[in-house]
Amino acid sequence: MGYTREELPVRTKSTSLFNHLDTMPGDPIFGLMSLYAKDPAEEKASLTIGVYRDEQGKPWVLPTVRKVEKMIAEDVATNHEYLPMEGLHAFVESARDLLFGNPSPALTSRIGSLQTISGTGAVHLGARFLNDSLQPKRIWVSDPTWGNHHAIFDIAAPAVEQKMYPYYDAATCSLNFSGMMETLEEQAQPGDVILLHACAHNPTGIDPTKEQWKLIADLCERKHLFPFFDSAYQGFASGDVDEDAWAVRHFVDRGTLELVVAQSFSKNFGLYGQRVGAFHIVTADEQARDKALSHLIYLQRAEISNPPVYGARIVAFILQNAELKAEWEQDLLIMSGRIKTMRAALFGALQELKTPGNWQHIVDQNGMFSYTGLSEKQVLALRKEHIYLLTSGRASISGLNRDNVKMVAKAIDKVVRASGDAPAVAA
């Protein structure tokens, strides 16, 4: 809403130029965290925010990260100068090589990379860049997806229509692959962008199989869709960085698809507050790569100028040292292994209680999150039992530990029996 000079309201102590604004809704995850913090119950569990917690429910600084922090602090050459606009060179190269598997010189010449403000900043930069350069009419997003995807594209690419492709089958708590493929086959148009989760789909925890990924790549080639990968959990999901990058590498190896990838180091390095990320574009040739990268750097200059250095230094230090990288890979196995153990523990506790429904999906899903199949009514009932998760039924498995998993299972059993509605009965 704008005003001409003649229409400007008379300023008084009780008036503001901003009173016309609507109040925007708060983020549901952080709102739930606040409710949990205020809950006076001694026994309670938060399965909300997507951060790793140890067996005591505490934040965990990776031992390898802790070691490198000390090394950086003791290095007299360390300073706090500005980075180049594209970021710390050692980090950008390391991030690229981790994602694409030490690409050949021929492939490297086609990959443009720069450092971003974590994965969120990478998605935002990519959305704005594609909006300006390709001017797509539509972007196809999984139903459901990470909630912030919608907000980012609303802000960075407001003219691009967001279309949803089926992803989650509520009847079986599994991937609706046929619905996904049929919708894209029938409705997607050449030039459309398709947003894909590289691994550990957020919020469902359900990933396509390798054979299904091949069919998705076939469709992108055939329909001339532009893939936009969001890679937030490489190595954190399975414990194997190569396994978790398989889908991205398969698309690139075909040699026929140009694409972009948003990459985050929050989960796999535990650097949540450092906001370490990267954005990569794979083009058909080196000339296109250089042109695209120049536009990305131009946008970067206008938005943040220079990315932060500390977290990027930690990642680069680890990835460029074979011994430290091996130690970090053991840290990944600890985190991913604990989450798998908690999935099995929750499933086992529900089985022991003979909770109505089929809960196999909890162990079949992958990564930090589980789409439990619980309804909004059941989730709200769980809050009365001091268990907090999103109304969609998404639970952060990392919030479980040996001390609370049986309590959570008993609460789920109670609300499911009371509601008479058992998830995944049709599975």
Over residues 107-129, mean pLDDT = 98
Nearest-angstrom CA–CA distance, 32 and 392: 13
Kindly state the percentage of the chain with pLDDT values over 70.
96
d(CA 96, CA 108): 9
Give dist(CA 267, CA 264) in Å, integer: 7
- Assign 14 a pLDDT band (cuts: 50, 70, 90): low
Q: Which of 213, 244, 267, 359 is catalytic?
A: 267
Question: Can you give the pLDDT at residue 11?
Answer: 59
With 0-12 CB in 10 A as exposed, 13-18 as middle and 19+ as buried, what is 287? Answer: exposed
Catalytic residue among 146, 213, 328, 359: 146
pLDDT band at 319 (very low <50, low <70, confident <90, very high): very high
CATH T-level topology, domain 27-60+337-419: Aspartate Aminotransferase, domain 1 (3.90.1150)
Q: What is the pLDDT of residues 365-402, one digit of tens each?
A: 999 999 999 999 999 999 999 999 999 999 999 999 99
Residue 285 annotated as catalytic? no
Catalytic residue among 230, 244, 331, 413: 230
List, for residues 144-197, the tens digit of each pLDDT value.
Answer: 999 999 999 999 999 999 999 999 999 999 999 999 999 999 999 999 999 999
pLDDT in tens, 190-221: 999 999 999 999 999 999 999 999 999 999 99
pLDDT of residue 426: 41
Residue 395: which H helix or E strand, with range? strand 394-396
Average pLDDT, the chain: 94
Q: Examine the pLDDT at 54 and tell me if it is beyond 80.
A: yes
> Model-level pTM?
0.92
Instruction: Decide: helix, strand or coil at residue 409.
Output: helix
From 108-112, 322-326, 363-367, 423-427, the region with the lowest mean pLDDT: 423-427
Active-site residue 60, yes or no? no
pLDDT digits over 260-279, tens only?
A: 999 999 999 999 999 999 99
- Tell me, yes or no, if 70 is annotated catalytic: no
On the question of pLDDT at 414 being above 80, the answer is yes
CB 146 within 8 A of CB 167: no
- Domain boundaries of the chain, sorted by first residue: 27-60+337-419, 65-320
Q: Please state the rounded mean pLDDT for residues 330-337.
A: 96
Element (H, E) at 230: strand 226-231
Provide CATH code, domain 65-320: 3.40.640.10
How many Å apart are CA 43 and CA 203, to the nearest integer? Answer: 26
Q: Is 247 left (phi over 0), alpha (psi -120 to 50) or beta?
A: alpha
Percentage with pLDDT > 90 across the chain: 88
- Is pLDDT of 427 > 60? no
